[in-house]
């Protein structure tokens, strides 16, 4: 009896040991596989990726067929056999347009698209992680401000050879400026624009008509109108709703509008240092724009708490009829329309931020085609990735984004059914002349500047000169960082 | 054959080491290796995008100490936050524990669970909830102030320079006071009932009991609370990121947010690692100092 018991215990101990050893082996094996996987090195532009033992086709292997005009909107790029293009975007709200775009691209090119989506504020991290792990997306969303940084890291596929091989591609874009300002580095095209973003003032026309308010023609008239609105409504109506969260958001956009005109009047608008965002001594111009904004802010032209409101909250305030104007970007158009139908049913109008009376041109410099796509230099299927981007900029796809998603797209020959949208598009068409296009990796310079702006606006002890000094200092450091 | 060459004791030892192996591997792979790698790469210009980098000596560290006032401004936010939040949280936790320990068992259980509940709620959920509470136009606090005729005090709590840090501290205290309370509560359970009863018989009132018994006898809990809270506050990220985004401006921008921006927006991963190492050293030094100050003394009788 005792012997049997002991034998049983020995068996159990033995089974336990075996199970434990198996578990250990599994853990060690999984650790080894986890550490060895994902270590695929990145390849530089034009280099071959040999991760699967086959040399990758590069832009240098572009087929002659690509140069031929097939008569179709989508010109074949001799896409690699069995190409699977991994695509990362940030537009869950445009999922339908993405699906339709991919359907068209897969119809026109022999490739398959695998879609991934990430929140807009996570996209840089997503790309960085994917890139560092060697599992980068073949095509991905990028803002134009990120292009120099990505290029510096060897991330971007040079699309220039594809544009040269397919002369029908470039005319697809609205104008040369929108393409070159998006991602042209030293004559190389490192990405393609999708849509434009610019700040406008949308106003409650119903409210304006009822109160006899008129659209201001100059910046001074805008200030007078704000004063009048506050006086007429006993401070119950916020003249301009400019949500300032996060990092100043539209409040900073308003300052930028004021600043652009100041710079123009000072004759510095075409200063090459300004156009490349390398100005590190504004000689009081930046301070002046800050002073005007602070004055307007302290006179409650933007309400009591603009820095506490995010975009959606600002929209809500506007549509509940407690603000007469809303500073917003054109891509909010759909949301605004929907909200208008649900809530107030006001008649809406829009106008650009007006120039001061001494300024002979109303500028639209801070708008531009900043949203777009890039392709990965280390892609196993570079031709397919380029073909995908070619497809994304085709008239058929761009029309979907224009009509269905109400975007102002970077494409030529689009006629917008919506008059408001058409007016935005007209502004974009002539917006590029004075646009600032950094020629270095600005990193988080934009965010840092906006934060200093909010510091200045909310800190009574901070002077305008100190504000400008800090802005100059940030720019100097960003340039140094980029050139390090 | 193999069995004969090892004694039973040897086999036990080998088996012991064998059992330790997976944990040792995990420790090396997931802890030591990343730390060493971080230290090494903090001396490089690694962008975080590719495998390529160059060693640049102490340049990242020199930059932090000589040309990064924003880093030290953020550090001052962390320090201010750490001291205020820790003091408030520890005091509140202590008072809650003293209150609860004197209740009946049923009420003790109820309050223990209720007050500990925020600890297990994810930071994102807490931030969303507090954002609604703090929202300027239709937030709970401002609605209440307006309802009771104090509308003039209604401000944008997270977007106002003078209230933003306080708003974060309040939500953080709400989140962690329960945790502090539990630590004190457990420590108070060790205080002998007889001792307290004797004190009571000798005429010690509630305040005297707190001052001469609860406070000194829970010194160990105070030390743990201080160390955990201060180190947590110096490394704080989630609640700031989600609640204020570092704003208004840079008034609540903490070091971790700068580190994240440096790594993921400026693509200066090497520098971000150097910033992390400096933060790590500061946290460790602070911890050592606090432990030295707060370590329980054996002279209490």
CB A400 within 8 Å of CB A221: no
- Rounded Cα distance between A363 and A238, Å, is 25
In a domain, A288, yes or no: yes
In a domain, A169, yes or no: yes
Identify whether residues A84 and A143 lie together within a single domain. yes
- Quote the minimal CA–CA distance from B23 to chain A in Å: 10
- Rounded Cα distance between B4 and A362, Å, is 94
C-alpha A2 chain-centroid distance:
77
Across the interface, whether the CB atoms of B49 and A150 are under 8 A apart is answered: yes
In a domain, A25, yes or no: no
Residue of A nearest to B46 (CA): A153
First to last CA, chain B: 62
CB A467 within 8 Å of CB A456: yes
C-alpha B55 chain-centroid distance:
34
Identify whether residues A69 and A192 lie together within a single domain. yes
- What number of C-beta contacts closer than 8 Å exist between A and B? 126
Which tokens sit at A136?
A: 């980068």
Identify whether residues A214 and A347 lie together within a single domain. yes
* Cα separations in angstroms, B265 against A195, B247, B258, B260, B268: 22, 18, 10, 8, 8
- Closest partner residue to A454 (CB to CB) among B47, B155, B249 is B249
The rounded radius of gyration (Å) of the Cα atoms in chain A is 27
- Rounded Cα distance between A426 and A182, Å, is 18
- Closest partner residue to B136 (CB to CB) among A308, A441, A444 is A308
Across the interface, whether the CB atoms of A24 and B26 are under 8 A apart is answered: no
Identify whether residues A337 and A412 lie together within a single domain. no
Residue of A nearest to B262 (CA): A444
> Can you tell me whether residue A161 is helix, strand or coil?
helix
Across the interface, whether the CB atoms of A308 and B26 are under 8 A apart is answered: no
In a domain, A88, yes or no: yes
Q: Which residues contact B3 (CB under 8 A, 6 or more apart)?
A: B11
Q: Which residue ranges make up each domain of chain B?
A: 2-41, 68-294
Chain A residues touching residue B253 (CB < 8 angstroms): 451
CB B241 within 8 Å of CB B174: no
- Quote the minimal CA–CA distance from A39 to chain B in Å: 9
Which regions of chain B are under pLDDT 70? Answer: 1-4, 296-301
In a domain, A177, yes or no: yes
Q: Which residues contact B33 (CB under 8 A, 6 or more apart)?
A: none
Identify whether residues A345 and A417 lie together within a single domain. no
Write down the residue that tokens 């600043």 correspond to. A259
Which tokens sit at A367?
A: 């708008």
State the best of B47, B48, B60, B242 to mutate against chain A, taking most chain A CBs within 10 Å: B47
Give the pLDDT of chain A (484 residues) as one tens digit per residue.
555 665 556 655 655 666 566 655 555 554 444 443 333 322 222 333 333 333 333 333 444 434 343 333 345 588 998 999 999 999 998 999 999 999 999 999 999 999 999 998 789 889 988 988 888 999 999 998 889 888 888 899 999 999 999 999 999 898 888 888 888 888 899 999 999 888 889 999 999 999 999 999 999 999 999 999 999 999 899 999 999 988 899 999 999 999 999 999 999 999 999 999 999 999 999 999 999 999 999 999 999 889 988 888 898 889 888 999 999 988 887 667 777 777 767 888 888 899 999 998 888 766 678 899 999 999 999 999 999 999 999 999 999 999 888 899 999 888 888 777 887 787 777 667 788 888 888 888 998 999 999 999 999 999 999 999 999 999 999 999 888 7
Q: How many CB atoms neighbour CB A405 within 10 A?
A: 19
- Closest partner residue to A443 (CB to CB) among B135, B249, B265 is B265
Chain A residues touching residue B247 (CB < 8 angstroms): 245-247, 307, 451, 454
Write down the residue that tokens 């991963």 correspond to. B269
State the best of A34, A120, A451, A471 to mutate against chain B, taking most chain B CBs within 10 Å: A451
Residue of B nearest to A459 (CA): B161
Chain B residues touching residue A29 (CB < 8 angstroms): none
Identify whether residues A293 and A147 lie together within a single domain. no
pLDDT digits (tens, 9 = 90+) for B234-257: 999 999 999 998 989 999 999 999
- Rounded Cα distance between A93 and A282, Å, is 40
Q: How many CA atoms lie within 13 A of A104 on its CB side?
A: 24
Q: Which helix (H) or strand (E) holds A16?
A: helix A2-36
> DSSP string covering chain B, please?
-HHHHS-HHHHHHHHHHHHHHHHHHHHIIIIIHHHHHHHHHTTB---SSSS---B-TTHHHHHHHHS-HHHHHHHHHHHHHHHHHHHHHHHHHHHHHHHHHTS-HHHHHHHHHHHHHHHHS-HHHHHHHHHHHH-TTT-HHHHHHHHTT-GGG---TTTSTTTHHHHHHHHHHHHHHHHHHHHHHHHHHTS-HHHHHHHHHTT--HHHHIIIIIHHHTHHHHHHHHHHHHHHHHT--HHHHHHTTT-STTTT--HHHHHHHHHHTS--HHHHHHHHHHHHHHHHHHHHHHHHHHSPPTT--
Across the interface, whether the CB atoms of A132 and B18 are under 8 A apart is answered: no
Chain B residues touching residue A308 (CB < 8 angstroms): 135-136, 155-160
Residue A189 forms beta bridges with which residues? A184
Chain A residues touching residue B158 (CB < 8 angstroms): 308
Identify whether residues A122 and A184 lie together within a single domain. yes
Beta pairing class for A111-117 and A83-89 = parallel
- Quote the minimal CA–CA distance from A112 to chain B in Å: 26
State the best of B38, B127, B136 to mutate against chain A, taking most chain A CBs within 10 Å: B136
Across the interface, whether the CB atoms of B250 and A455 are under 8 A apart is answered: yes
Task: With CA atoms as reference, report the closest residue to B168 among B133, B122, B120, B116.
Answer: B133
- Quote the minimal CA–CA distance from B161 to chain A in Å: 7
Identify whether residues A324 and A472 lie together within a single domain. yes
ipTM score of the complex?
A: 0.79
Across the interface, whether the CB atoms of A441 and B267 are under 8 A apart is answered: yes
- Rounded Cα distance between A129 and A143, Å, is 17
Q: How many percent of chain B have pLDDT more than 90?
A: 63
State the best of A32, A45, A293, A458 to mutate against chain B, taking most chain B CBs within 10 Å: A458
Q: Which domain holds residue A416?
A: 59-197+368-434
Chain A residues touching residue B135 (CB < 8 angstroms): 308, 313
Across the interface, whether the CB atoms of B247 and A132 are under 8 A apart is answered: no
Across the interface, whether the CB atoms of A313 and B251 are under 8 A apart is answered: no
In a domain, A17, yes or no: no
| Whole-number pLDDT of residue A18 | 60
Chain A residues touching residue B161 (CB < 8 angstroms): 458-459
- Closest partner residue to B267 (CB to CB) among A313, A443, A477 is A443
Identify whether residues A356 and A259 lie together within a single domain. yes
| Residues of chain B with a CB closer than 8 angstroms to some CB in chain A | 18-19, 21-22, 25-26, 29, 45, 47-52, 59, 67, 70, 135-137, 155-161, 245-251, 253, 261-268
Identify whether residues A456 and A387 lie together within a single domain. no
- Closest partner residue to A451 (CB to CB) among B47, B136, B249 is B249
Identify whether residues A138 and A223 lie together within a single domain. no
CB A454 within 8 Å of CB A244: yes
CATH code for position A339: 3.40.190.10
- Rounded Cα distance between A255 and A100, Å, is 39
Across the interface, whether the CB atoms of A441 and B22 are under 8 A apart is answered: no
- Quote the minimal CA–CA distance from A61 to chain B in Å: 24
- Closest partner residue to A447 (CB to CB) among B18, B135, B261 is B261
State the best of B15, B242, B248, B262 to mutate against chain A, taking most chain A CBs within 10 Å: B248
Structural domain count, chain A = 2
Identify whether residues A333 and A275 lie together within a single domain. yes
Q: How many CA atoms lie within 13 A of B179 on its CB side?
A: 16
| Whole-number pLDDT of residue A2 | 53
- Quote the minimal CA–CA distance from B159 to chain A in Å: 5
- Rounded Cα distance between A18 and A12, Å, is 10
Q: How many CB atoms neighbour CB A19 within 10 A?
A: 10
Residue of A nearest to B241 (CA): A246
In a domain, A26, yes or no: no
Residue of A nearest to B250 (CA): A451
> Can you tell me whether residue A314 is helix, strand or coil?
helix
Residue of B nearest to A150 (CA): B49
Choose which CATH entry (2.115.10.20, 1.10.3720.10, 3.40.50.300, 1.10.1740.10) describes domain B68-294: 1.10.3720.10
Across the interface, whether the CB atoms of B47 and A152 are under 8 A apart is answered: yes
CB A266 within 8 Å of CB A464: no
In a domain, A377, yes or no: yes
Across the interface, whether the CB atoms of A443 and B159 are under 8 A apart is answered: no
């Amino acid at each position: 009896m005792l012997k049997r018991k002991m034998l049983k215990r020995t068996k159990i101990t033995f089974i336990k040991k075996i199970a434990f050893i198996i578990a250990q082996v599994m853990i060690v094996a999984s650790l080894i596989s986890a550490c060895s996987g994902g270590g695929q090195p990145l390849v530089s532009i034009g280099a071959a990726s040999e991760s699967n033992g086959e040399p990758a086709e590069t832009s240098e292997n572009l087929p002659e067929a690509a140069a031929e005009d097939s008569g179709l909107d989508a010109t074949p790029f001799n896409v690699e056999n069995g190409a699977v293009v991994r695509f990362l975007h940030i537009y869950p709200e445009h999922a339908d347009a993405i699906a339709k775009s991919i359907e068209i691209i897969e119809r026109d090119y022999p490739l398959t698209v695998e879609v991934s989506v990430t929140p807009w504020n996570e996209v840089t991290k997503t790309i960085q992680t994917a890139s560092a792990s060697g599992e980068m997306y073949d095509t991905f969303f990028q803002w134009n401000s990120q292009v120099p940084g990505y290029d510096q890291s060897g991330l971007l596929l040079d699309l220039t050879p594809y544009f040269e091989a397919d002369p029908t591609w470039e005319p697809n874009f609205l104008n040369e400026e929108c393409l070159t300002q998006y991602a042209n580095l030293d004559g190389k095209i490192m990405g393609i624009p999708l849509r434009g973003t610019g700040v406008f003032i949308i106003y409650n026309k119903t409210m304006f008509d009822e109160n006899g308010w008129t659209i201001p023609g100059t910046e001074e008239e805008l200030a007078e109108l704000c004063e009048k609105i506050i006086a007429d409504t006993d401070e119950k109506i916020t003249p301009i709703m400019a949500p300032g969260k996060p990092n100043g958001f539209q409040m900073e956009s308003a300052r930028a509008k004021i600043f652009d005109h100041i710079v123009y009047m000072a004759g510095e608008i075409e200063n090459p240092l300004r156009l490349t965002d390398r100005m590190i001594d504004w000689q009081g111009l930046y301070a002046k724009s800050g002073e005007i904004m602070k004055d307007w802010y302290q006179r409650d032209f933007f309400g009591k708490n603009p820095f506490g409101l995010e975009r959606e909250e600002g929209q809500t305030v506007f549509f509940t009829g407690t603000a007469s104007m809303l500073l917003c970007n054109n891509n909010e158009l759909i949301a605004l329309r929907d909200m208008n139908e649900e809530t107030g049913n006001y008649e809406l109008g829009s106008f650009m931020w007006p120039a001061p009376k001494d300024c002979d041109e109303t500028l639209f410099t801070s708008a531009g085609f900043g949203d777009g796509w890039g392709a990965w230099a280390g892609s196993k299927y570079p031709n397919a990735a380029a073909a995908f981007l070619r497809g994304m900029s085709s008239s058929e796809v761009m029309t979907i984004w224009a009509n269905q998603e109400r975007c102002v797209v970077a494409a030529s020959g689009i006629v917008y059914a919506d008059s408001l949208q058409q007016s935005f598009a007209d502004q974009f068409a002539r917006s590029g002349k004075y646009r600032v296009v950094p020629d270095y990796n600005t990193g988080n310079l934009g965010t840092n500047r906006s934060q200093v702006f909010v510091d200045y606006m909310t800190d009574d002890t901070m002077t305008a000169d100190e504000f400008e000094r800090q802005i100059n200092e940030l720019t100097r450091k960003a340039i140094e960082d980029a050139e390090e | 054959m193999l069995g004969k060459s090892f004694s039973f004791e040897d086999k036990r030892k080998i088996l012991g080491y064998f059992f330790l192996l997976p944990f040792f591997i995990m420790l090396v792979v997931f802890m030591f290796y990343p730390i060493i790698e971080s230290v090494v790469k903090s001396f490089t210009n690694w962008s975080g995008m590719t495998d390529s980098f160059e060693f640049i000596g102490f340049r990242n560290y020199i930059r932090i100490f000589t040309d990064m006032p924003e880093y030290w401004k953020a550090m001052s936010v962390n320090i201010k936050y750490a001291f205020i939040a820790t003091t408030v949280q520890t005091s509140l936790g202590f008072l809650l524990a003293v209150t609860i320990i004197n209740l009946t068992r049923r009420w003790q259980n109820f309050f223990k669970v209720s007050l500990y509940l925020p600890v297990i709620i994810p930071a994102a959920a807490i931030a969303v909830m507090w954002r609604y509470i703090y929202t300027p136009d239709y937030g709970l606090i401002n609605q209440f102030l307006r309802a009771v005729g104090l509308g003039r005090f209604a401000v944008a709590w997270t977007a106002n320079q003078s209230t933003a840090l306080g708003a974060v501290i309040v939500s953080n205290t709400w989140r962690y006071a329960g945790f502090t309370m539990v630590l004190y509560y457990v420590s108070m359970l060790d205080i002998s009932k007889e001792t307290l009863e004797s004190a009571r018989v000798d005429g010690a009132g509630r305040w005297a009991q707190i001052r001469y018994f609860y406070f000194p006898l829970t010194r160990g809990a105070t030390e743990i609370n201080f160390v955990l809270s201060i180190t947590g506050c110096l490394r704080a990220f989630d609640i700031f990121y989600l609640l204020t985004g570092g704003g208004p401006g840079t008034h609540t921008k903490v070091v971790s947010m700068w580190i994240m921006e440096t790594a993921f927006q400026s693509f200066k991963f090497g520098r971000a690692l150097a910033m992390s190492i400096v933060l790590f050293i500061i946290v460790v030094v602070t911890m050592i100092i606090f432990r030295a100050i707060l370590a329980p003394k054996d002279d209490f009788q």
